[in-house]
Amino acid sequence: MSLKSKLKETLLCLKAGRVTLPYPARGHPAPEGFRGRPVFNAAKCTGCAGCANNCPAREILVLDVCQEIRILKYLGRRCAYCGRCAEVCPERAITMSQEFETATDSIGDLQQRLELFMSTCQRCGRCFDPPSVLEELKLKGYRLDDLANERWVFGSKAYLTSEPAVDDIRIEWD
């Protein structure tokens, strides 16, 4: 409680000037890796409903109207921006954007509704089953032996997709 410490505190604050961000006047972008509102890309979505099954807040609803049409609805109300839907989506159709300026006066503003066409087989009428992980592995190539130099290559360099699903773990292959 000494006077000297109070004076020092005042001088420090005065020297710092004004630290207030001029926020609504000038934008303030979010840092790298910030998880903002999830954005659904209807072009890439296959309607597997993996996101709906994994959402901890049960925020993504799925309704099959008929065999060909599946409606996927994301209500923005309870979303905790955890990012599990984006992580699980096999087609990378969901991205956690950097938007955080989502204040509104009617909560229905945050919803996104996708109507998806599920292609059906002409002969049996059932939907196409996307290949399982093992099947995709077999289709895309598992062995990359070097035929030109007649060398046997250990390990596999063929990933299921071009970039790894998990960003912060770098797995070094051969």
Residues that bind other proteins (CB under 8 A): 1, 6, 9-10, 13-14, 16-21, 23-24, 28, 30, 40, 42, 56-58, 61, 63, 65-69, 71, 73, 75-82, 99-117, 120, 122-123, 125
CB of 160 to other proteins, least distance (A): 24
Q: Which is nearer to other proteins, 113 or 157 (CB)?
A: 113
Q: Which two tokens stand for residue 51?
A: 């996101």
C-alpha to C-alpha distance for 89 and 78, rounded to whole angstroms: 20
Q: Which is nearer to other proteins, 113 or 138 (CB)?
A: 113
CB of 85 to other proteins, least distance (A): 14
CB of 168 to other proteins, least distance (A): 21
C-alpha to C-alpha distance for 103 and 80, rounded to whole angstroms: 15
Question: Locate tokens 């925020």: which residue?
Answer: 59
CB of 4 to other proteins, least distance (A): 12
> What is the Cα gyration radius of the chain?
25
CB of 74 to other proteins, least distance (A): 9
Residue type, 106: S
Q: Which helix (H) or strand (E) segment is 50 a member of?
A: helix 50-54
Q: Which is nearer to other proteins, 50 or 70 (CB)?
A: 70
Is residue 86 within 8 A of residue 96, CB to CB? The reply is yes
Is residue 50 within 8 A of residue 91, CB to CB? The reply is no
Q: Which is nearer to other proteins, 33 or 125 (CB)?
A: 125
